[in-house]
Every structure is written in C-alpha cells, then in structure tokens.
Amino acid sequence: MPSSDPSESVPFPPHGEYLKAVRESSRAARETANITISEQSIKRFLLSPAFTGTFQRLRVAHGMAMPLNFSSAKEELTVLSVLSLLNIASGYRVPLHIATGRGAFDNIRAFIFAAYITSSTGAEDYFSARGMKDVTPTAVADLMRVTHSIHVERPHEKIPGVTVGELGGPVWEIVQIIAKTLNETGEALISGGYPDLGSFVLEALTEGEKAKNAGGDECEIVVERLVRAIPGFRDMALVYGQPVYCFKKALLTLHAIALRFGKSDTPAIPVPRTDHLPIFSDNVIPSLLIHLGVIDLSAADASLGLPQLFPDAQNPERLEALLAAAQPEEPVVAKIKSVPKEGPLLSVEQAYVLRAAAIDACELIVEQAKTLDVSGAAEDLSWMKNITLPELDAWIWAVAKDRPDYRKLERFALRNTAYF
C-alpha cells in the first residue's frame, strides 16, 4: 500500500476561509480541466421526473442514524464522529460486495456496530483515544468479518506446484487504511490531551457556538479545527499545481451532528447550522451527475484522460431514460443484491478534479433552482427555490441506491485513499 498522502504537500487554507477555499478551489479546478456545466443541463435535470418525483422523499436520507442505545449524548457524539471519520472505502465497493454482500458504507457501519458492542462489554474500548491508537489491522478485519478475504495465494518460490497464502488483496488494503486512520486519530487525540474523538469535537462545537453568538460562522471554526488536528480529515490534493480542498468527512461530521441533535428544542450539545455547507463530495455524487448529464466531460482535459472515463454518459436515449420517472420494481427482484460493476479506477488528480466538479455543479444547481421559472409546471414546484446543498447531496447519494437502473451505473473508484 503506497505510503504517500496527497495532502502532505498541500498548504492549509487561510484561517477562517476553509469553506470559501472548498468552493473556490473546486471551481478553479473544474474550469482549468474544461469540464462543462451548462444552464441548460441543470434546468433539464431540475425539471426531470427523476428529480421532482423523489426529492422530497430522499432529501435527508444520509443514512448516518444508528440504532444503538447510548449512555450519554457525549458517547453518541463520539461514535457518530468516528462513523464520519471512517466514511471511506468507496474504492473497495466491489471487493467488499464480493466478501460480505454489502457495499462500502454498509461495511463501515457494520464495523462501527461491532466495535461498539465489543467496547460495551469492557473487553476493548475501540472508541477511546488509546483504543484507536492501538487497534491493529487484524482486529479491524475481525470486527468487519472479512478475515476470510484478506489473504492471497502466490506460487512457492522454490517448490513448483505449491502455493503459499499471505496477507494481501484489496480487502486487506482497506482494512489497513481503516486501522491507520484510527491509529493516526488516536495519536493526535492523545497528543492533544483528549480521551476520545467526541471530546475534541464537542470542544470545537463549543468554540464554534461562541463564534456564532458573536456573529461568526461556527462551521468555519469546527471544520478548521478538525482538518488541522486530525490527519484523516485532511482531504486535499494538488491538481494542476494548485490546491483542491474537498474536506468531505469534516463537512459530513458537522451535518451528521446537526441532523441527529438538531431535532431537540434543548439539544445536549451545540448544534451547527449546516444548510450553507458545500456538498460532501465522494465518488457517488460526481459519477451520478455525469450519468445524469449535469457534468459534461466531452470537452474536458484529454491529458488527464477525462473524456474517456464515462463514454456512454452523453447517449441521448440513455440520458432520457435516466431522467424519466423510475420504473416500478418487483418486490422479489428488489431484494436481490447483485455485485455491482466496477467503474473506472482513477488517479488522485482525476478523482479530485471530478469531486471538485461535483462541488461546483451542486453550487450551480442550487443557485439556478432559486431563480428557475417553474410556473408552467404541471405540479407545484415552489419548494425548489428553497433546496439546500446538504439536501441535494443527500438526494443524489440516496437516489443512487433507490433506483435499480441507478444502482447499475458505474461509479469511479480511487484506491488507497482515506478520504472518501
């Protein structure tokens, strides 16, 4: 597994400008790559039955809720923060499906459940700073129940016809990435004097609340603290020699907290306002926006190989079918989970350009939705003027699983990353 981290050579954004840096760096990368997002393609998307018929149902379906009994809000905050930190493994979707029958996020959530149950028995405490620092890849594999999938066979060096089993393969790669992310986080927390990730996040939220009361943006405070303190949140890379900042997991952490604790009139912890946050760009959102005709790669940078990544995306008949209302699915068929087709494997630069394009595309979609003339529509679309970026993010992420034809769409993959 490569030890190089794309974030190591990237400077942090200026103090107090992390959200601005996400938006501006993403637009700059998208424009430099000559990726097209037209008003016409956005209007076609916004007025499509695929969008208008399901947005209200799927706009908050982020899937971060956990059916666990927590002893305190602080404990729940810790587990929720670790779940956000580990919202990765997208590049290993297919091998994980083969190994467990579940996708990337469902495997991570199952790992969190298993770690929490084990920690509750007192045998280990995987959610303490010390427990995170000391967790081993073997322990991660055991909790994920993938020990049968972390070995590969190779020919014996000296004995013909004999094979030797050793640790390796894509599932072993993601197990190592998870363990490394936890180890680095535990080390950072111990160094800062925090017993667990929840304590650190709560302190950042409290500091953000003070900034909010003084007229500032609490999310700026929290995102900056997360990114500067925890390596697993430093989701940034150089593309065309310039920084691109995505910070997917840091932004998602804030929104997951807002969704979970914002429902109460007297929340146990400070709740950030997240309606204005940039989207939490992974591999699903850019891939879907390409398939749905919003992001056009046909004239994009050929030196990065962008036009060849999704060659069927501009097929008019295919696009028309995807933007139409979903076809009814037989209940028996809906329960059959087939292994998804592997999408194109990308370089770091390609992945960050497409993720940046998705961030900018969603900004443009929400901006256009506010001014779009929907007076002639057959149904009441007045709600469209009030959609938020996190809601749009949630819809794209959820609809990718909601429709059988969307579930079959290829998603790009980036291996050896701890950021999405």
At 204-234, the pLDDT tens digits run: 999 999 999 999 999 999 999 999 999 999 9
What gap in Å lies between CA 346 and CA 96, rounded to an integer?
18
State the residue for tokens 């495997």: 107
Assigned domain for 12 exists: no
For the cut 50, the answer to whether the pLDDT of residue 253 exceeds it is: yes
- Residue 2: per-residue pLDDT: 43
- Residue 220: per-residue pLDDT: 98
Domain count along the chain: 1
User: How far lies 206's CA from each of 67, 213, 225, 272, 350, in Å?
Assistant: 26, 11, 12, 10, 37
Assigned domain for 417 exists: no
CA atoms within a 13 Å half-sphere pointing along the CA-CB vector of 353: 28
Assigned domain for 332 exists: yes
* Residue in 79, 94, 87 with CA at minimum distance from that of residue 62: 87
Q: Over pLDDT 90: what percentage of the chain?
A: 82
Average confidence (pLDDT) over 10-25: 98
- Residue 40: in which H helix or E strand, if any? helix 39-46
DSSP assignment, residue 1?
Answer: -
For the cut 50, the answer to whether the pLDDT of residue 3 exceeds it is: no
What gap in Å lies between CA 224 and CA 107, rounded to an integer?
28
Tens-place pLDDT, residues 28-72? 999 999 999 999 999 999 999 999 999 999 998 777 878 888 999
Tens-place pLDDT, residues 228-241? 999 999 999 999 99
Assigned domain for 13 exists: no
Average confidence (pLDDT) over 315-327: 95
Dihedral sign computed on CA atoms, order 213, 216, 219, 223: negative
Domain that holds residue 258: 18-407
Assigned domain for 5 exists: no
Average confidence (pLDDT) over 121-127: 87
Task: With beta carbons less than 8 A apart as the criterion, state whether 306 and 286 touch.
Answer: no
Assigned domain for 10 exists: no
Average confidence (pLDDT) over 387-414: 95
State the residue for tokens 């954004």: 13
Assigned domain for 29 exists: yes
Tens-place pLDDT, residues 163-175? 666 778 999 999 9
